[in-house]
C-alpha cells in the first residue's frame, strides 16, 4: 500500500536553503554531499559526517526536551482525535449518501 503524506514533497535543496544557515559549515557539507549524490557517486559505505551527526543529535535532543515539557493532557489526545476523525467521516458519509 502506498502511503501519502499530508504535505506535498519539498525539494531537498529548498528545504536546506530554508533551514540551514547560509555560510555555515553544515550547509557547505550538505552541499558537497548533495553534489556527489546528484553526480551519481555510489555511497553505500561512507564514514559518518560528524557535522551532520552533531546537527541531528542537537535537534533530536531539543525536540525531545520540548515534547517532554508538554503537559501529558495535551500530548495524549490520540483517542479524542480518533473520535473526531470518525465523527467527521460519518458526517461526510451521511451528507453524501455514502
Three-class SS of 53-65:
HHHHHHHHHHHHH
Mean pLDDT to the nearest integer, 62-67 = 92
Instruction: Please say if the pLDDT value at position 6 is more than 60.
Output: no
* Model pLDDT, residue 14: 87
Check: CB of residue 29 under 8 Å from CB of residue 51: yes
**pLDDT per residue as tens digits for the range 25-56:** 999 999 998 888 888 877 777 888 899 999 99
pTM beyond 0.85: the answer is no
Amino acid at each position: 500500500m502506498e502511503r501519502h503524506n499530508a504535505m506535498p514533497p519539498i525539494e531537498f535543496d529548498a528545504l536546506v536553503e530554508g533551514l540551514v544557515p547560509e555560510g555555515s559549515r553544515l550547509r557547505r557539507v550538505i552541499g558537497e554531499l548533495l553534489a556527489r549524490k546528484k553526480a551519481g557517486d555510489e555511497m553505500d559505505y561512507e564514514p559518518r559526517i560528524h557535522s551532520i551527526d552533531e546537527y541531528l543529535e542537537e535537534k533530536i535532543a531539543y525536540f525531545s526536551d520540548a515534547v517532554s515539557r508538554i503537559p501529558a493532557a495535551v500530548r495524549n489526545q490520540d483517542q479524542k482525535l480518533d473520535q473526531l476523525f470518525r465523527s467527521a467521516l460519518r458526517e461526510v458519509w451521511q451528507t453524501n449518501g455514502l
